[in-house]
Amino acid sequence: MKLNSSDQVRSDLDRLLPLFDAVYLRTFEAGEAPRLAEAICYSLRAGGKRVRPVLCMLAAECVGGSAEGALACGLALEYIHTYSLIHDDLPAMDDDDLRRGQPTSHKVFGEGQAILAGDGLLTEAFQVLATASSLAVERRVELVSLLAEAAGWRGMVGGQSLDLDGEILTRSGQSYGLDHLQLIHRLKTGALIRVSLEMGAVAAGADAAQRKTLREAGAAMGLAFQIQDDLLDETSTDEQMGKRVNKDQDRGKITYPKLLGVDGARRALAEATGQAVSLLSTLPHPESLIAWAHFMAERTS
Ligand code: GRG
């Protein structure tokens, strides 16, 4: 029986989250810095949709691989994502008090420990890939390199830097256009989502054409995800999102709705989602990823 999008997403979560939940804290159980381990586990446990690990495992399945084979990649992705949120919430960055419905790491553990929790997660992501015994050594090296490129200064970190600079610009009364906003989004949020699908492809041993398709579909899904994030910042509540909303508007930040209007942003979202769906449709088992493309465009938190 064919499931509708939200039932498909629910059924994939029911199947894949237990794999993730069984192992994601394990590496932080033994160590000599208990306060740091506590801070790391606090943020990992705080919830979150686990979008990146699930997309990675589904991408592997989409080309005939197994979710288990991509699990180490999923862990690495969630560690990087969680580190980025901890650091993004710091006073030197977005200065937020609430994340995933709970006080942010620096509010609970202090700034120093929060910085270190992010650093610990960032480095552990690469350790988990380097020691993933289910993957051939050459594949591990390739995955480490892919993730470094997407998460590092050529990707997410670079996007965050452009975003910080953009805020300084807008505070001084200047502005920038859609091309620059797209660049920021492609790097800051898009790169990690794109690489989630590509890492799933590599873990599953996909051929070059399938890998390219998943990479391009991931890029479109990453853009859609960020446009929806901009829209949610404009239209949702703090309770719904588990974090402070309307902050983009309050800071005069450039966003999709600001440049295109809410309707224009919704059209751009539909276009990016449509592009992802048509790319995914060419792959062997695309149903789940297509459902996720719709879910990410329609999400309310
Ligand atoms: C500090 C190096 C560094 C990077 C930060 C990604 C990022 C760069 C900052 C986060 C800012 C932000 C809220 C971006 C919008 C898109 C986004 C990443 C939202 C949060 O991701 P979800 O919705 O979060 O997947 P959960 O909590 O569900 O895991």
Position 160 pLDDT exceeds 60? yes
Q: How confident is the model at residue 300 (pLDDT cuts 50, 70, 90)?
A: confident
DSSP class of residue 135 equals: S
- Structural domain of 17: 5-298
Number of domains in the chain: 1
Is 84 touching ligand 1 by the criterion CB < 6 Å? yes
3-state class (DSSP) for residue 117: helix
52 CA closest ligand 1 atom index: 25
pLDDT digits (tens, 9 = 90+) for 61-103: 999 999 999 999 999 999 999 999 999 999 999 999 999 889 9
Mean pLDDT for the chain overall: 94
Instruction: For 236-251, write each residue's pLDDT tens digit.
Output: 766 666 666 666 666 6
Q: Which CATH number belongs to the domain containing residue 117 in this structure?
A: 1.10.600.10
Residue 50 Cα distances to 12, 193, 258, 282, 296, angstroms: 12, 11, 28, 25, 12
pLDDT of residue 65: 98
Confirm or reject: Cβ of 48 under 6 Å from ligand 1. yes
What is the residue with the minimal CA distance to atom 5 of ligand 1? 84
Q: Is the CB of 268 under 6 A from ligand 1?
A: no
Distance 84 CA to ligand 1 centre (A): 7
Q: Which of 41, 29, 78, 25 is nearest to 195 (CA)?
A: 78
Paired residues of 102 in beta bridges = 99
- For 98-147, how does the pLDDT look when each residue is reduced to its tens digit (9 = 90+)? 998 899 999 999 999 999 999 999 999 999 999 999 999 999 999 999 99
Instruction: Give the pLDDT score at 253.
Output: 82
Q: CA-CA distance, 144 to 195, in Å (whole number)?
A: 11
Task: Output the CA 12–ligand 1 centroid distance in Å.
Answer: 22
Q: Is the CB of 74 under 6 A from ligand 1?
A: no
State the pLDDT at residue 4.
80
Per the structure block, which two tokens stand in for 147? 């993730």
229 Cβ below 6 A of ligand 1: yes
